Amino acid sequence: MAKKSKPLTDSVPIIADPNTDWYSRFTDFDISLFRAGKHYKLYEKLGSHVVTHQGLQGTYFAVWVPNARHVSVEGNFNGWNKTSHPMQVRWDGSGIWETFIPGISTGEVYKYYISSNTGDKLEKADPFALRWEEPPSTASIVWDTWYEWRDADWMKTRFQKNALNKPMSVYEMHFGSWARNIESPGEFLTYRQMAEQLIPYIKNMGFTHVEFLPMMEHPFYPSWGYQITGYFAATSRFGTPQDFMFLIDELHRNDIGLILDWVPSHFPGDEHGLYRFDGTHLYEHADMKKGFHPDWKSYIFNYGRNEVKSFLISNAIFWLDRYHADGLRVDAVASMLYLDYSRDAGEWIPNEFGGNENLEAICFLKEFNEAVYSNFPDVQTIAEESTAFPGVSKPTYTGGLGFGMKWMMGWMNDTLEYFSKDPVHRKYNHNRITFSTEYAFTENFMLPFSHDEVVHGKGSLLNRMPGDEWQKFANLRLLYMYMFTHPGTKCLFMGNEIGQSREWDFDHSLDWHLLEHAPHQGINELVKSLNHLYTSQPALYEKSFESTGFEWIEGGDAENSVLVYSRKGHERDNDLLIILNLTPVPRTGWRIGLPAEGRWKVILNSDDVKFYGSGFSTDQEVISEQIFWHGKEHSGLMNLPPLGGLVLRLLKK
């Protein structure tokens, strides 16, 4: 029989005796790793775990609350009694409290009642809970992550799918607003319903990966998931953890990778969450000049506290381990790197050298990437980082942060600014469209047109394009042509591939009815064709992050706003030629320098009528002439469609 505890008082905590039969999942080595910030599988130890102890089935609970005088487990099983099921604090000074309660099993709802040394009386959800109640309820649920995975083939070969010299075209999506229940538009699709609808669509469109905005439990739906309270729990809005695993399993079985948004930068101040967890600033900095985020009115993790580092890195490992995620896109990295991010003079504290770099966060990010790639060398970490911080995607042993890739925010901003200009003015902004190649190979860049570009009054991408209806769609097709032929991997937010007309609304489904109309069908068909082009042409991905994979043929024709460049793979026979006419003026008899002698065939034309283009007469083949042009020994004459892009490939002899 399990050893019973005496009732605890608020002032005299009972210390667990290591010489008794008290059940614990912690070894001395676990504790030393935890306190050193090096325990990366804390989810196996802390939290709630259904176990059998001395012949009795029950649940073991463990929570880190170093400044508590009394901790107990309350829930439906004891009528939410705050004293009937006390926990014991470990004897080793770790601040971990434990108990084993017989008779409690999967599905039990609970919280921790904490009486703090500060005098606070707190009711907290479990930071390591594997499932939470569906919001607005806030309690934790005893659960497990057992699932019979069927994705062995994917896991065995995913190093090939995630490699830096392979194509990665990511479909970024917000789960709750991709589509809603047809019979009841106010209801979300469940994880299993999403598997039925999303996977055929992704396969048809040709995306290689799906990226979900944060799927961890969050109390405030309009935060899009970026204000997390349950870091180890898939949100219950759409089903159980096993339901989410089923969706991931089915994605993998259909050769689609999964990237999860991960938010180690901040957390909300909800009273049941991490904020002042034991009555003190346990997870966050006590000084709000370092601990409060002014943009999001949330709290910043204390990256210098070893136990917090163990919590965060364990969380990253958890999603890769238990949920088979193929990558983590780390949100708001810039806000972590700089102490003065979104702060005025006097509102921040310099580091020990007087600078504005957050040295503790930098160290944490390096440790995070080292831990991830040591345990899962076949995944990718991707940084959303908007500054010129050096070496974000360079190895830590060379001084970098160790990410696999970095979002190319400068390219995104310059490109959208350029395309928003009336074509008559583009010649005065030519540098915006060519400047990216000056730094394109300083990092492993991913090109994003993300959710942030279609919210907060920015409007949809379609309505940021100038001109009449036809020109708006032609500009959008040309924008995507430029994106998919530019060096770097790709990330496109949901709705952009159908030419969504209105700004994204997290509370409603995408406007799928738009696909009944030819212009939107054309955009959809073009994105599908671009994905096929990208994944089938080695020149577009083999050297995505190498300067030898790109060459300007003509990048200086500002007057006519025509760009000509070549993309190159390992084999010269695979080289491609890309021509973009960034004005609505058709160009006839336009001479283009060709990288090699021979017959060049048009393999994609964004102005094709099947994409709702004009169908302007463009030769399907160009035969080279020995006429020096654009610095090349051979050239050819072409007709360039209005607001159109062409991709050509040399025909093999």
Residues 6+ apart with CB under 8 A from 267: 227, 228, 229, 273, 274, 275, 283, 284, 298, 299, 301
Nearest to 35 by CA among 280, 302, 310: 310
On whether the CB atoms of residues 479 and 412 are closer than 8 A, the answer is: no
d(CA 561, CA 161): 36
On whether the CB atoms of residues 560 and 583 are closer than 8 A, the answer is: yes
Residue 509 has a CB neighbour count (10 Å cut-off) of 18
On whether the CB atoms of residues 616 and 588 are closer than 8 A, the answer is: no
User: Is the backbone peptide bond immediately before 377 cis, with ω within 30 degrees of 0?
Assistant: no
188-199 burial by CB neighbour count: b if 16+ within 10 A, else e? bbbbbbbbeebb
Residue 30 a catalytic site member: no
Both structure tokens of 207? 């995306």
On whether the CB atoms of residues 140 and 131 are closer than 8 A, the answer is: yes
On whether the CB atoms of residues 83 and 71 are closer than 8 A, the answer is: no
Residue 511 a catalytic site member: no
Q: Is the dihedral of CA 587, 592, 597, 603 positive or negative?
A: negative
DSSP string, 381-434: EEE---S--TTTTS-GGGTS---SEEE-HHHHHHHHHHHTS-GGGGGGGHHHHH
Burial class of residue 223 (count of CB atoms within 10 Å of its CB; 0-12, 13-18, 19+): middle
Burial class of residue 50 (count of CB atoms within 10 Å of its CB; 0-12, 13-18, 19+): middle
Residues 6+ apart with CB under 8 A from 431: none
d(CA 111, CA 270): 14
d(CA 484, CA 426): 21
Could you say which of 211, 278, 331, 497 is catalytic?
Answer: 331
Distances (CA, A) of 175 to 178, 194, 492, 510: 6, 9, 15, 11
In the block, residue with structure tokens 């999967």? 106
Strand partners, 52: 57
End-to-end CA distance of the chain: 82
3-state secondary structure (DSSP) of residue 40: coil
Could you say which of 30, 384, 385, 575 is catalytic?
Answer: 384
On whether the CB atoms of residues 643 and 478 are closer than 8 A, the answer is: yes
Q: List residues with catalytic annotation.
A: 331, 384
